[in-house]
């Protein structure tokens, strides 16, 4: 997942808004889980550490890696970097695989 720090996602400090950072991480984690599990997922918790500001005009990238996948509850790390490789944020997500009802 990526976005450019623009007027649409900046805060009063002219840097990427924290809510946009968390949203990027959430989508990166969900997409990573869905790439290996067909079931829908939902966020249980997402702990985020804001490390550096993402400067206006920079592109930022969110990635995710699964830590534990032995049950319906999944633990996933996520990291946001800017285009120069500077760490913007990192975090840990706890996600639940939802049971699907396939009655037709």
pLDDT band of 21, cuts 50, 70, 90: very high
pLDDT band of 104, cuts 50, 70, 90: very low
- Structural domains in the chain, CATH included, are 2-97 (3.10.129.10)
Q: Which of 100, 99, 92 is nearest to 64 (CA)?
A: 92
For 9-15, which contacts have Cβ atoms below 8 Å and span 24 or more sequence positions? 10/56, 13/53, 14/55, 14/56, 15/53, 15/54, 15/55, 15/56
Q: How far is CA 9 from CA 21, 28, 48, in A?
A: 9, 17, 18
Mean pLDDT of 35-45: 90
pLDDT band of 102, cuts 50, 70, 90: low
- In whole angstroms, give the CA distance from residue 92 to residue 44: 11
- In whole angstroms, give the CA distance from residue 46 to residue 55: 23
Model-level pTM?
Answer: 0.88
């Amino acid at each position: 997942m990526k976005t450019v720090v623009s007027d649409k996602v900046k805060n009063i400090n002219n840097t990427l808004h924290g809510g946009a950072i968390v949203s990027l991480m959430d989508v990166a984690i969900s997409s990573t889980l869905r790439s290996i599990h067909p079931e829908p997922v939902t966020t249980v918790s997402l702990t985020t550490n804001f490390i550096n500001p993402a400067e206006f005009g920079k592109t930022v990238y969110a990635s995710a890696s699964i830590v534990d996948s032995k049950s319906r509850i999944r633990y996933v790390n996520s990291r946001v970097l800017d285009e120069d490789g500077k760490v913007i944020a990192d975090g840990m997500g706890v996600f639940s695989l939802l049971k699907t009802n396939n009655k037709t």
